[in-house]
Every structure is written in structure tokens, then in C-alpha cells.
Amino acid sequence: MPSTKKGKPQGGTFEQENVLQAVVVADRFDEKFQPLSDDIPLALFPLANKPLLDYTLDFLSSNGVQQIYVYCCHCSGLIKDYIANSKWGAKSSQCRVTPIVSSDFTSLGDVLRDIDQKSLFETDFLLVAGDLISNMSLQQALTEHRDRRTKDKNKPLMTLILRSCPPTHEMRSADDDIVVALDSHTQQVLYYQKIGLTRKPKFEFPLKTLLQNTCSNFEFRYDLSDEGVAVCSPQVPQLFTDNFDYQTKEDFIKGILINEEFLGNQIHIHTIKRDFAARISTLHMYDTISKAVTSRWIYPYVPDNDFESGENSVSGKNKKDITLASSPKLYHHLRRNVYIGSIKSLGKDSSIEDNCVIGHDTIIGNNCRIRNSVIGNGCVIGDDVSIKDSYLWSGVTVKDKCTIDKSILSNNSIIHENTKIPSGCVLATKVEIGPNITLKEDTVIHIEIDDETFAEGENMQKKDINPSLVGERGRGILWSRVEDIDSDMEDEDVGMELNREGIWGMSLTERDKMFPTYSDAESSEDDDISTDGSDMEDYENEENSITLFFKEVKDSLSRGIEESIKCDNLILEINSSKYAYNVTIQDVIRNVTKATFEISYLRCNGAPFFPALKKVLLYMSPVFMNYNKTSQSQMECINEIEQYCLCNKHAYDCLIKILMLLYENDILAEEVILSWHKNPSTVQTSEVSDVTPNQLRKSVTKFIDWLQEAEEESSSEDDSS
């Protein structure tokens, strides 16, 4: 493959040694927030009437970040335009924000591989999720990471910034639940597993990790939450390029931990306790974080602090103060955390109570009650309307005598007269409901959007609209993750039940209620170590995985030799199989070695074995060099060769030639061969073997003597010089 010229996007001209840089991944690469995200990217979801992306960028800027690359795929044009027209696109901005757009990005792995392709970073950088809200300081985490890199530049790859959070805390999402095992002294990660919404009361922990770990400060942590912030070394993007099976951060962490013993790479954590950090990973978290903003838990990120322009509002104490706003961008902070923008009118006998944000240019009619809600800019609220625990985005119209409870209404949706929107409902952009209709809980209504133009789909005809669902003047159809769902009421109930879990997500408390296996009372017996034979079953599964892995490796190498495939591509195939079957790097080395010898035997067709092996080994030498980088890995290789020779006379007879070939081509080091010969054999002797390990070692004595003599001559020459 021809080499591609690497280069930085325009705008990346800082001297990296003096500049802190970051990557914001503004795409989730999933369908979690559909249908709301069909025409509005998550990064531009309004949070207290400010785009989510502004919170993330301002957090980084306040921590001294001067260059931010925003990677976006879905609705990328909207994000690019927003950045260009905001303070982040101004020439006077101290923090330079560069959007990087591509429709080819389908995962975090694609983003990191693009970073490597463009060679964006030569020093450490921050990797940040685009749905993050935080006011934490990053200085200590950066200092710890740099100190580790100063002591050993190659080993520390990443420092995860995790938040200490009790398992039942409302700011902890069940979707992102994790378990971490650490060396509490060095904060090195030994094990990392994302549990999520699993319904199992237990998680699997590899006993091998516990037995191989020698630290005395081993501990499990279930009180940590990963909020999508990590300090990365420049090697991280390179490793994503080398391993195309790395698609998520969890894939990367898992791969590094599996190979840590041989490659020496390490991942550490930094824990924050008092500062705020959370991700809008579900609509449940959107609701929870919105309330945290209005309750002033995330200062300075509060509605009356206009961090978009750096201006602050004045505080008011009664309704009369509402008319004093001198700028359409500012909010008045009233009692009980009520924030009022430059609204057009507030009707007689209407009340705004507790943790509310009312956007600019909004009209509120008579005798309305709004509580624990956010009303967007340019909304029109009729008379006798009740809104509780809900979010109305920009341009929403709610006509007379309507009730809305714990729901989300997207841009320009319309609620006609005497309509009730109960808990859990989501209305996408331009949906109309009513009049005189009551939706069921957890109903999700949308208008079909063309994937390319984001215009209303031509295929949504009037006949597709169910008046019994959306009303006579309604506009929209039922949305569900269930495909080919019928319009009868029973199927609608099924779709709504799935919508609740799929769209809104769950808190840990809700999960525990739904899946009682999480309770201590019901799972206490399961916490004991199992002695019912499950360990044997796990062992059999592991053996089966290794067998399948060997078959795939052998097939890949055979095809590579027949078709003259480049060894770099073969390495990618082997790495992909390694991850798919969850095998260790030791298993890779052993199986690559065994496959090479078996393929060579099949190719010799009755002719002498060594010439065929030599041809294959020379072709495969880049593969061996890739995996045999340490003395430990080389010892695994020579032990596997010993195992093969003990059972195969055609290899045993030419073992000296084999060792010489591997030695001359730098696949096996001199000290490894001498150490192997000197120490007792660790391989298991097969019943079909005609020779013992001791006999095998004696058969290569002449070669060992030659190595030792060469080493002595080299030492004497060094002494004389």
C-alpha cells in the first residue's frame, strides 16, 4: 500500500511542547438518542438552553487547553457551522477549535486512527467525550501522567480520570456501570470491565490476573464512574492503527491489559472526589444533569453565567425584575433557582416554581403553572397549562388546557388544545399532538427524516398517521426500536416498554428494582466461590477458544503464503483473531510458531523438512519479529519449538539448523537460547514422543558450545580493546 502523506489540519500550527491539546469526540456512534438525534446532534442538545458542546469546550478552555479538535460525523455540518459562528470560531479566541468532519467515522477507533494518520500529536493530549459536563481541574491528573512518563516514556499509555461516586448515587448511570481492579499504591489498572445493564448479579474476573499480580495493594473498586476523560500519550493513536479490532476505549483497555505482561504498557487512573463530572449518556442523565445545572451544583456552569460570551446577569427578587434585562443573552436568577430570560410576556396568575429556566422571546399565557422544567427560546405557552419536570426546546407551541409531565418536546413541536403528555414521552422535531388526546406513558413520536438531507421523508403520508394515537390534527408516527411493529395497541405497548429502557436509560436504583438479582439478600449465596464444576466448564471453554484461534491463525498464514500477502496484513488478521477469541499474547506466540511448523511440513510433500521450513520462516520473519520482542516472548517461542520437536522426528532431526536459522535472523537471541538449554524443560512430554527433553537438549550441544565460544571470544575482544 502506498504511503499516505501525513499532515495537520489547517489551524494546527502551535508548538506542541508549550500547548495543551485535546480531542473532543462529538459523536456517540450509536442510536441511543434517536429520534431526537435524527436532526440534532447530541453535541448541540440544549442543556439549560445552552448547547452541550459549549459546556465541554469551556471546561477544556478553563483548564488551559489551547487547541481542540472536534471530531464529528452525524449532522457534522450543524456542528461545524455552530463552531464557526460562536466565540470558539472568533479570531480573538484564546482557544482554537478545529472541527474535523468525515462520514467514514463509525467508532472511536476510527477517530484515533485518523489522528494517527494526520500525526496531530507529538506530546500528551486529552481525549474527551463530547457529552461531558464538568468543572473539575485537570492539573493534578496531567502532572501525575507526565511524572510517570518522565520516569519511563514508553510504559504509561493512558491515565483515566474517574469520579468517585457511590453505587446508588443519582449521578451514576446504570448504562455506564464499571468495575475496576487496581494497584492502590501506583493506581495502575489491572482489570477493567463495563457492566452496563447486564442482568447478572456477578461479573467474571480472570483468576490468572489475580495470581500473576504480585502487588500487595490489590483492590476492587465499584465506586468509580468513567466520565469519558483520559490523558493519552502519543502512542495511543498508533496502537489503534496497529489493532483494527480496537473500536472502543474498552477494547483498547482490554487489549493493553491482556498484553501488559509482555509489552509492558500500562494504564493508570486519577480519581476526583469533590468536583463535578458526568456524561449525558441517556435521557435519564440528561434530566439529572439539567437539574444539577439549575440547582447550581456545577458552578460556574449555571444559567445566569453566560459563559458563551463571558457576561454575568444580575439577580432579581420578584417578577418586576424580569423586565430589567439589558441583553437578550442574560438570565435573571430569582428565588428558588428560577431563571428568567428576556421573555415577551408572562400572563396573569401564572407561576414559575422551583428550578426552572424560561428562555428568551417566550410567551406564557394566563393561569399557567411551570415547575422543575426548562422552556426554550421562542416558545408559546397558552392559558391553563401545567408543565412539570419537562423540557421544551426552541419554538415549541403548547395551546390551552394542556398538561405535560416529565417529557421532552423537541424543536417546533405543537401540542393542540386539551392534550395530556404523561411521564416518559418524547416528541421529535415538528411533531404535532391533539387536540383532545391523552398519550400513553413512554410514547415516542417522530416524523420520518431523510438520512441525507434531514428533510421530512416523502413516504410519510396522511394514511400513515393514526388519529387515535396523535389526534385529529396530529402529525407524526410511533417510533420504536422494534422493527415492523403493527399499529394495534398491543404492539404499541411493547414498543413503549422498550422505549423506556432504550431511550431514557435507567438509574442504578431503577435497575435494581427491575432486576432484583442485584439485591444483596437474593445474591448473597451466589457471592461464595463456586465449587459446582463451573471452573472446569470455564477451562473447557478456554481450551475450545484456543483451538479455534489456532485454526484461524493457520488458515491466515497458509493463505498468506499462497497469495504472497504482506506480513503487516497478516499481523492485523492475527490481532483481530486474538481479540475475537480473547487469548493472551503467549497463546498468540505459541500458536503462530506451531502453525508455521505444521504448514512447512505440509508443503514439503515428502521432501526434506528443513528447506521447506526455512522458506516459510524467512517469509514469516516479520511476523515472528513483531511478537518476539522480549526475552519472555522468545522463550515461549523456543518452548513451543521444543514441544513440536519432541513429537515430530522430522523436526527433531534438524533442530540445530532450526535454532541456527532463528538465531541468524534475530528471531531468537543468544541469551534466550542459552537460558533455555541451561534450565530444566517446562514443556509437557507427550506419550507419543520417542525422546525426552534431556535427550533433545543433548542433541543441540554442539550448537550451544559454539554459541558459548563465540560469546567468550566477543568478551575477550571487548576486554582487550
CA distances 277 to 132, 289, 351, Å, are: 7, 10, 32
* Mean pLDDT over each residue of the chain, to the nearest integer: 80
What's the pLDDT at 3?
38
In this structure, what C-alpha cell is assigned to residue 158? 493512558
What's the pLDDT at 416?
96
Is pLDDT above 90 for 243? no
> Residue 55 and residue 28: Cα distance in Å, rounded?
17
pLDDT single digits (tens) 667-706: 999 989 998 888 877 776 655 567 788 888 888 999 988 8
Question: Which residue, chain included where needed, has cell 434585562?
Answer: 325
2-11, 128-137, 332-341, 382-391, range with the lowest pLDDT: 2-11
Compute and round to an integer the Cα radius of gyration of the chain. 31
pLDDT band at 10 (very low <50, low <70, confident <90, very high): very low
What's the pLDDT at 445?
92
Could you tell me how many residues make up the chain? 721
pLDDT single digits (tens) 442-471: 899 998 755 444 444 444 455 467 888 889
pLDDT single digits (tens) 592-607: 999 999 999 988 877 8
Query: 185, 160 in Cβ contact below 8 A?
Result: no
435-439, 487-491, 652-656, range with the lowest pLDDT: 487-491
How do strand 420-421 and strand 403-405 relate by DSSP bridges?
A: parallel
pLDDT band at 542 (very low <50, low <70, confident <90, very high): low
> Residue 340 and residue 359: Cα distance in Å, rounded?
7
User: Where would I find the beta strands (DSSP E) of 265-344?
Assistant: 266-272, 277-279, 305-306, 311-312, 332-334, 338-340
Closest CA to 58 of 326, 230, 341, 299: 299
Of the chain, the percentage scoring pLDDT greater than 70 comes to 77
> Residue 530 and residue 525: Cα distance in Å, rounded?
10
pTM here is 0.69
Angle in degrees, 0-180, between the axes of helices 52-62 and 76-85, rounded to the nearest 10:
50
Query: 202, 283 in Cβ contact below 8 A?
Result: no
Name 370's bridge partners: 352, 387
What's the pLDDT at 603?
86
The answer for residues whose C-beta is within 8 angstroms of residue 278's C-beta and 6 or more apart is 132, 133, 134, 163, 171, 225, 227, 285, 288, 289, 292
In this structure, what C-alpha cell is assigned to residue 520? 444483596
What is the residue type of 447? I
Quick check: helix, strand or coil at residue 60? helix
Query: 364, 370 in Cβ contact below 8 A?
Result: yes
Is pLDDT above 60 for 612? yes
> Residue 515 and residue 521: Cα distance in Å, rounded?
13
